[in-house]
Amino acid sequence: MPLSTWLKAGTTTAAVVLATATAATAAPATTPQPSTAGASAVVTLRYDDSRAGGWEAAVAAGVASWNANVGNVKLVEAAPGTRAEIVIVATTGWPQATLGPVRPGRQVRVELGSQAVTQGYDKTRIAAHELGHSLGLPDTKPGPCSQLMSGSSAGTSCVNAVPNATERARVESAYANGAALRIPADGRMLVDAP
């Protein structure tokens, strides 16, 4: 075989090898990206308890209960001067709250009434119950102590401030994938007198 044929064959082979090697190293490596399918958006709602004198610990415990038991919505304390979606005030009457679900940028009111405390009802249960209204849960009266939304119908000995599985599921559903952005709040004030 003449030298020119060997050179052509060698050059062609070298070109093929070089092209293959370049293509293999030049192609960007594909790193698997985590899937965002099924990930739900968490709705953050701010609350203002600056006018809830004497109820701060109960509000903090009620907020902690909701935050520990639902994942689609998170309650955070509003920074001073920031508009809050949930305005919490102390009153002398019966506890009451606007029925939600409250949407970001909108506003509901929670009134923590001392009349219920005077009659022996637990402050933390009251705060968690009223926050439940803001999140879209109506009363379930009469009801057992195991139902947070049974409110005063469970009696003064009831101190449960934790939503049950049905209550948690309803809130999760109301805020699933940011759905609270589309669901209008009811707007009714629910008074929790027995």
Q: What residues are labeled active site? A: 130
Residue type, 68: A
CB 108, CB 185: distance < 8 Å: yes
Contacts of 50-53 with C-beta under 8 Å, sequence gap 24+, read: 50/80, 51/87, 51/88, 51/89, 51/90, 52/88, 52/89, 52/90, 52/112, 53/90
Instruction: Decide the pairing of beta strands 86-91 and 108-113.
Output: parallel
Residue type, 114: S
CB 173, CB 153: distance < 8 Å: no
Residue type, 139: D
What is the distance, to the nearest Å, from the Cα of residue 76 to the centroid of all Cα atoms in its chain? 10
